[in-house]
Amino acid sequence: MSEEGKDTRSFWQVFKAGLIFENPLLVLMIGICSSLAVTSNVSNGIGMGLAMTFVLVFSEIFISAFRKLIPNAARLPIFIIIIAAFTTIVDLVMKAYFPALSKSMGVFIPLIVVNCIIMGRVEAYSSKQKVISSIADAFGMGLGYTWVLIVIAAVRELLGNGTFAGIQVMPVSYTPILFFILPPGGFLVFGLLMSVNNAIKRSINKREALAAKQVSDQQKAKENA
């Protein structure tokens, strides 16, 4: 199963797909639960995003490198062992060197094990692709996840608490809109961001279609001449 359906896109194209066109949160819409839960402040968003990216990158590298040794029938438990190992490493390292961050994210770090973004990418992508494409995919997906978390968290923290990464930004007279810190606010910001992402996608598609049309027009003109 490994060689057919190989991804022929370049490293950069695969990476870019994760950021916008196949963004795990905004387009694939997986792993939303934990991302809405941790985005009540920016530092949590950054921490969670980087932790996810780390686990994603190393799980994809390992699974892609060993994809021919992993028997199809036992692949899921093996994926989980690998993902759980890297998640535990992140958890231990954060506890040892970033105790404050580890405390504020609580249970969501261990829960990376069952995050469907990782399981989804490993199953759908790196278990079939070369290591180099898997690295591109992991970084694209990981950073695509991270930037969305940071944007959601920034909006929610700014409006809901008047701060950015813990620093008071809004004037003291500003009354925080609690709604944004609470779960419904997370859904609202997430929905708005999805529509913004769709608009960006559409405009990029339009521009590319336009460029392609111009090229073909020019070719036609040349042929006619």
Partner 1 sequence: MKNNTIKLGLILAAFAVVACASLAVVYQVTEPAIASQAQDALNASLKELFPEATSHEDITSAVSSSDETVKIEEAYLVKNDLAPLGVAIKASTASYKGPATVLIGVRLDRSITGVRILEISDTPGLGANAASPTYYVDKEKKITFPGQFTGKYITDKFEVKTDVIPITAATVTSKAITKIVKVASASAGAYLQAMALGTAAPSATSGASQEATQPAAEATSGASAEGTATQSAEPAAETTSGASQ
- What residues contact 155, with CB distance under 8 A and at least 6 apart? 180, 189
Count of C-beta atoms within a 10 Å radius of residue 191: 10
Q: Cα–Cα distance between 150 and 157 in angstroms, integer?
A: 10
| 174 lies in the binding site for partner 1 (CB under 8 A) | no
Q: Kindly determine how many residues on this chain lie close enough to bind partner 1 according to the rule CB under 8 A.
A: 27
Q: Cα–Cα distance between 27 and 44 in angstroms, integer?
A: 22
How near is the Cβ of 140 to partner 1 at its closest, in Å? Answer: 26
| 27 lies in the binding site for partner 1 (CB under 8 A) | no
Nearer to partner 1 by C-beta: 93 or 215? 93
Nearer to partner 1 by C-beta: 17 or 51? 51
| 178 lies in the binding site for partner 1 (CB under 8 A) | yes
- What residues contact 34, with CB distance under 8 A and at least 6 apart? 48, 108, 111, 112, 115
Q: Near partner 1 by CB under 8 A, which window of 45-53, 111-119, 134-142, 177-185?
A: 177-185
Nearer to partner 1 by C-beta: 120 or 176? 176
Nearer to partner 1 by C-beta: 47 or 140? 47
CA atoms within 13 A on the CB side of 216: 6
* Structural contact between residues 181 and 40, judged by C-beta atoms closer than 8 angstroms: yes
CA atoms within 13 A on the CB side of 78: 17
88-147 positions binding partner 1, by CB under 8 A: 88-89, 92-93, 95-97, 99, 106
**Residue 58 structure tokens:** 């190393």
Strand partners, 164: 167
How near is the Cβ of 14 to partner 1 at its closest, in Å? Answer: 26
DSSP 19: I
Nearer to partner 1 by C-beta: 70 or 116? 70
Say which residue the tokens 């997986």 belong to. 30
The only residue of 129, 160, 189, 190 in contact with partner 1, by rule CB under 8 A: 160
Terminal C-alpha separation, the chain: 49
49-88 positions binding partner 1, by CB under 8 A: 69-71, 73-74, 77-78, 81-82, 84-85, 88
| Binding residues for partner 1 (CB under 8 A) | 40, 69-71, 73-74, 77-78, 81-82, 84-85, 88-89, 92-93, 95-97, 99, 106, 160-161, 176, 178, 181-182
